[in-house]
Amino acid sequence: MSSEGLKKTLEAIPVLKTRAGPRDGDEWVTRLKEEYTSLIKYVEHNKANDSHWFQLESNANGTRWFGKCWHIHENKKYEFDVCFDIPVAYPVAIPEIMIPELDGKTAKMYRGGKICLTDHFKPLWTRNVPKFGIAHAMALGLGPWLAVEIAGYLNLLANSVDNFSHGVSLGASFSISVRSGLVATSCLLIHEVPHEVTDFIILLRSGFSRWGAIKAQVSKFRNFKPRFSN
C-alpha cells in the first residue's frame, strides 16, 4: 500500500478513546462499542474502494474473534481462516492474529499460525495506545503481512504443482524412449535454472532467510518425481 493509500485508510478508521481490557467491566463494554464502530467504518471504506478483504465476528463478550481473510494473487482468490483472542493486557498488548492453515508455511510466523507483527507494527501500536484497535491491527498488521508473506507461500504452492507436472512429463518422455527422456530432461534443466533463481529472490523478499529459502526450494522438489515405465 502506498503512503497516500495508507493515509486515506487511517483517516477512514475512527480512533478509539477508552483504555480498557476484557477485565474492566462496563469500560470494556464501552471499548467494544468503539471497536465495532471502527471496524464497520473500515469495512465500509474497503467496500467503497473495492478492496474488501476480510470478515470478522466475535463471541458474546468480545474476547474471541474469528472469520475469514483473503488475498488476490494473479486474479485468483485465496481464502484463509483467521482468529485471535483479546489479551488481558489489551489495549497495551497486541492481539496475536492467527492463520492456522499457514502454520509453518511462511517465514514470519510463530508456532500455531501466529503471524509475526513485532518488527514493523508493535512500535506503531505502542505509540498509539489506546487509539488503535482491532481495525488498525487488521489494516496495518495483517493486511501488509498478507501482501508480502503470502506471495512466498503461493509461489511454493504453485511450484510444487509445477514440479509434479514436470515429473509426469519426464516419466512420459522416458516411456517413449531414453532419447526422448534425455531431450525432455535437458529442456527442463534449461527452464529450471532461471526459474529457481527467480523463486529464490521471491522467497527472500517474502521474509525468508537465505538458508530458509534454500530449504523451501529443496522441499518443493519432493513433488518432482519422474515416473518410469518398466
pLDDT tens digits, the chain, 230 residues: what are they?
556 767 788 888 999 999 999 999 999 999 999 999 999 999 999 999 898 999 999 999 999 999 999 988 777 788 999 999 999 999 999 999 999 987 876 666 667 788 877 666 888 899 999 999 999 999 998 988 887 776 666 666 666 666 677 778 878 888 888 888 888 888 877 876 676 666 656 555 555 667 666 666 566 555 444 333 33
Distance between alpha carbon 3 and the CA centroid of its chain, in Å? Answer: 20
CB 97 within 8 A of CB 84: yes
pLDDT recorded at residue 136: 95
Mention every residue, 6+ apart, whose C-beta is less than 8 A from residue 21: 28, 31, 86, 87, 88, 89, 90, 91
pLDDT recorded at residue 171: 84
Mention every residue, 6+ apart, whose C-beta is less than 8 A from residue 119: 108
C-alpha cell at 6: 495508507
Verify whether residue 69 is a known catalytic residue: no
pLDDT recorded at residue 228: 35
Domain boundaries, the chain: 3-147, 149-219
pLDDT recorded at residue 225: 41
Instruction: Please state whether the peptide bond connecting residue 123 to the residue before it is cis, i.e. omega within 30 degrees of 0.
Output: no
d(CA 210, CA 139): 29
Adjacent-strand bridge partners of 110: 114
Q: In 10 A of CB 159, how many CB atoms?
A: 21
Q: Which of 69, 83, 116, 187 is catalytic?
A: 116
What ranges in 18-142 are assigned the alpha helix state H? 26-48, 122-127, 134-136
Distance between alpha carbon 17 and the CA centroid of its chain, in Å? Answer: 30
C-alpha cell at 167: 515429473
Mention every residue, 6+ apart, whose C-beta is less than 8 A from residue 180: 173, 174
Q: Which fold has domain 3-147?
A: Ubiquitin Conjugating Enzyme (3.10.110)
Tell me the three state secondary structure of residue 70.
Answer: strand
d(CA 140, CA 124): 9
How far, in Å, are 11, 138, 160, 223 from residue 133 at the CA level? 14, 9, 38, 43
CA dihedral 108, 113, 114, 116 (to 10 degrees): 10
pLDDT recorded at residue 114: 86
- Whole-structure pTM value: 0.69
